[in-house]
Amino acid sequence: MFSGAALQILNHLLDQAPGAHARLARHAGAHARLELGQLGVAFTIGDDGRLCAASGESLTLTLRLPADAALRLPHEGDTVLRDARIEGDAALAETLGQVLRGLRWDAAEDLSRLIGDAAAERVVGGVRSALAGGRDLGARFAMSAGEYVADEVQLLVRPAATAAFSDEVDILRDDLARLQKRVELLARKAQAGR
């Protein structure tokens, strides 16, 4: 069930990515497995570059991605793919990586079939604004929480305060070393004067 749904989603995203099917068609007949953490989907690349369910053939490629790759891929594509573990055909892995990096869901296109172009653009624009506002709110909250913990509760020490304290400790150490030398000098003079 998961494999069928995952292949439908992947093929839908491939349909929206210009040139994706053509790139994959160069590897027609290859059998691969894409794994996201514990979930995986095995597929065969068709002559048209579409992904079809695999039926137990030996794999040409296994591409293992971190469990959170689906969430991170739209924002951190290269980083996520650098974390991938590859077993098998390197050329197919490179092509698949390029195709995955280029996948973007065109939500407005899909939504426009239900509610029309203008309404879909407004809905998607509103969702993007809400998400951006949420990210901004989250960033401001994190900054405020950091300032509260550092300044009000004083559970954390700011780097500037640490550096200033370190400088003062160094000065105190040097002053103590000079004082110790003076005491030793005075003790030697007192010993010599007896």
Q: Are residues 41 and 91 in the same domain?
A: yes
CATH number at residue 91: 3.30.1050.10
Q: For residues 23 and 94, what is the distance between their CA atoms, to the nearest angstrom? A: 11
Q: Are residues 97 and 115 in the same domain?
A: no
Q: Are residues 78 and 150 in the same domain?
A: no
Query: Would you say 133 and 120 are in contact if contact means Cβ atoms under 8 Å apart?
Result: no
Q: Are residues 80 and 23 in the same domain?
A: yes
- Decide: residue 100, CB within 10 A, 0-12 exposed, 13-18 middle, 19+ buried: buried
Q: Does the global pTM surpass 0.95?
A: no
Of 60, 84, 102, which residue is a domain's last? 102
**pLDDT tens for each residue of the chain, 194 residues long:** 566 787 888 888 888 888 888 998 888 888 888 887 777 888 888 889 888 888 766 878 888 877 777 666 666 656 666 777 888 888 888 888 888 777 777 777 767 777 888 887 888 788 888 877 877 888 888 888 888 877 777 777 778 888 899 999 999 999 999 999 999 999 998 888 77
pLDDT at site 167 = 93
Q: Are residues 123 and 140 in the same domain?
A: yes
Split into its structural domains, the chain has a count of: 3
Q: Are residues 90 and 59 in the same domain?
A: yes
Q: Are residues 11 and 85 in the same domain?
A: yes
Count of CB atoms within 10 A of residue 146's CB? 12
- Decide: residue 189, CB within 10 A, 0-12 exposed, 13-18 middle, 19+ buried: exposed
Q: Are residues 9 and 96 in the same domain?
A: yes
Q: Are residues 25 and 92 in the same domain?
A: yes
Alpha helices (H) along the chain: 2-16, 20-25, 69-82, 90-102, 107-115, 117-147, 159-193
Q: For residues 152 and 146, what is the distance between their CA atoms, to the nearest angstrom? A: 10
Q: For residues 22 and 48, what is the distance between their CA atoms, to the nearest angstrom? A: 7
Q: Are residues 70 and 111 in the same domain?
A: no
Q: Are residues 110 and 89 in the same domain?
A: no
pLDDT at site 78 = 63
pLDDT at site 168 = 94
Q: Which domain holds residue 130?
A: 106-156
